[in-house]
Amino acid sequence: MKPETLPPLDVETLWRLCLHVVRQRRLGKAPQDGPALTWEASQGFTLGDEWSAEAGELFSLVKPLLDRTHGSAPWVLGQLGQSLNGCIATRGGDANYINGAEVLLHLHRLRALSDAVIVGAATAALDNPQLTTRRVEGDNPVRVVIDPSLRVPPSSKVFSDHAAPTLLVCDAEREAEAADRVGADQVLGVPRLTGSDGIVDVRAMQAALAGRGLRVLFVEGGGVTVSHFMRQGCMDRLHLSIAPVVIGDGRPGLSLPQDLSMGDCARPPCRLYRMGGDVLWDLDLRASAASDGMASTST
Ligand SMILES: NC(=O)c1ccc[n+]([C@@H]2O[C@H](COP(=O)([O-])OP(=O)(O)OC[C@H]3O[C@@H](n4cnc5c(N)ncnc54)[C@H](OP(=O)(O)O)[C@@H]3O)[C@@H](O)[C@H]2O)c1
């Protein structure tokens, strides 16, 4: 039942509620352990009159992250911002300004609601990102760089700016070498992480991260990394933001190996959100089309 004393929710109020829920989770507390305006209270709301339209949209987008409880199984949200023709950057690796400011703000919100933000070695090397929550109120997640070949420069911001804890993930066999580069406290060596094919076993990495208390994982890119998570069945949700731009011969987004007939291709349940000039597809990679209130789109 909706408590009558609570004011209508605008985005600012909702965001404070989100941060409260996530801080409780990170501290290992149930949401109801906290002060007023708890998660439990929020359950009384519906996405109706009491919410601004913007707050309602934000809530439905981030609810899956808020639903995670301390100690629950690893859960993964991926994201890619891409052009109309499916590229996430130019061939040379420039991904700036594909998406507009609204999508950027959304990425920072997702970082703030996750335990860890993960990028592949190419993104860390080419973009030299900070991976912080500087555009929103909220705590930085742990920054994770998948760098099995140890090619990301130790001078990169993530390893040198001390803005948030950072972990370079590599095979345990190269842990000492990695520690020499970026310091032992910034290395997570995982036994049998890489097979003879050079592919990182995403589940082994997830288990190692869970051992550090990192279970709600935000995979921010690039395309190779997100694709590996999907191929190995390790992604629960994907936010695909499509911008009205065409990039000639750029770096690909999703790349999956199957050559299936059209009828066998995945058609995950999804919702659409306008983000400025971009369109965000929220894809539920676990649910069947009939569940979770999501409808498959059709043309
Ligand atoms: N538009 C966007 O949303 C967005 C987001 C992020 C990045 N980007 C852009 O994307 C480009 C980089 O993306 P990318 O797809 O080329 O590369 P990427 O995903 O950033 O990094 C791929 C590399 O990470 C390592 N890696 C990650 N997961 C692995 C796995 N499961 N198995 C084996 N190796 C794994 C490998 O490093 P080694 O090859 O060293 O072994 C692999 O080559 C940059 O230009 C960046 O600007 C765009």
Provide the terminal-to-terminal Cα distance of the chain, rounded to the nearest Å.
Answer: 38
Domain that holds residue 30: 1-72
Residue 290 falls inside a structural domain? no
Ligand 1 centre and the CA of 238: distance in Å?
16
Are 213 and 161 within one domain?
A: yes
Are 66 and 90 within one domain?
A: no
Are 9 and 120 within one domain?
A: no
Are 186 and 274 within one domain?
A: yes
The pocket around ligand 1, CB under 6 angstroms, is made up of 80-81, 88-89, 93, 95, 98, 119-123, 126-127, 146, 148-149, 151, 198-200, 202, 220-225, 228, 251
Are 120 and 204 within one domain?
A: yes
When the pLDDT of each residue in the chain is averaged and rounded to a whole number, the result is 89
Distance CA 124, CA 157 (A): 9
Ligand 1 centre and the CA of 225: distance in Å?
5
What are the tens digits of pLDDT across the range 172-196?
Answer: 999 999 999 999 999 999 999 999 9
Are 64 and 135 within one domain?
A: no
What are the tens digits of pLDDT across the range 40-55?
Answer: 455 555 444 577 889 9
Total number of domains constituting the chain:
2
Q: End of a domain among 72, 99, 126?
A: 72
Task: Give me the pLDDT at residue 204, please.
Answer: 98
Task: Give me the pLDDT at residue 2, please.
Answer: 52
Residue 296 falls inside a structural domain? no
Choose one of 88, 119, 249 to mutate for the ligand 1 pocket test, by most ligand atoms within 8 angstroms of C-beta: 88
Report which protein residue has its CA nearest ligand 1's atom 30: 200
CB neighbour class for 179 (10 Å; exposed up to 12, middle 13-18, buried from 19): middle
Instruction: Return all residues near 185 (Cβ < 8 A) that are at least 6 apart.
Output: none
Are 120 and 152 within one domain?
A: yes
Are 140 and 195 within one domain?
A: yes
